[in-house]
Amino acid sequence: MTVYASLMAALTIIGAYIAIPIGPVPIVLQNMFVMLMGLLLGARWGGMSILIYLLIGLIGFPVFASGKGGPGVFLGPTGGYLLGYIPAVYLIGFISHLKPYRMWLDAIAQLAGTLIIYGIGLSWLHLMTGLNWHQTLMIGFMPFIAWDGVKIVCNLLIIKSIRPIFKSWRTNQ
């Protein structure tokens, strides 16, 4: 599981480099991998994976969007989204592993995780930029919601293919 946690942290780093700057909050693929780590690894190991990712960035490695790193990123406009990954991964992992695999449960888990990321991220963006709530939503929510829907659907297709292989491997160990 340690290898999978590290792999998911690495994929999240790659996802952060795939960024389209559209303002203080860029469009990135890292949240797709954040949601996928919760689905694949569950609450405990998904949480470990996101902590690995965030700690690597916190100590200064350029693993966040647009190659940024260091503690200053957490104090900037995207810091809340990054911090929101921790409870989001845990919740996604918890919900998706409540019962045997059900696609609708994974969809609900990702939607709940996305709401957590937006809740913390938008609150932080509002606080750090001093924008009113309408401006905050226009900058930190509206450009991303459709893309996040696409990421959720992609993750549902990916996890449907990967989860049986992953479970097979785990039972043979």
Q: What angle do CA 117, 150, 18 make, to 5 degrees?
A: 75
Residue 30 has pLDDT above 90, yes or no: yes
CB 94 within 8 A of CB 110: no
Please report which confidence band the pLDDT of residue 53 belongs to, taking 50, 70 and 90 as the band edges.
Answer: very high
Counted residue by residue, the chain has a size of: 173
CB 24 within 8 A of CB 129: yes
| Contact (CB, 8 A) for 114 and 35 | yes
Asked whether residue 4 carries a pLDDT value surpassing 60, the answer given is yes
Check the CA dihedral 81-28-10-151 and report its sign.
Answer: positive
Domain 2-171, CATH class in plain words: mainly alpha
**Residue ranges per domain, the chain?**
2-171
pLDDT confidence bin for 173, thresholds 50/70/90: very low
pLDDT value at 172 more than 60: no
Hey, is 155 helix, strand or coil?
helix
Q: How many CB atoms lie within 10 A of CB 138?
A: 13
Which amino acid is located at 88 in the chain? A
| pLDDT tens sequence across 106-115 | 999 999 999 9
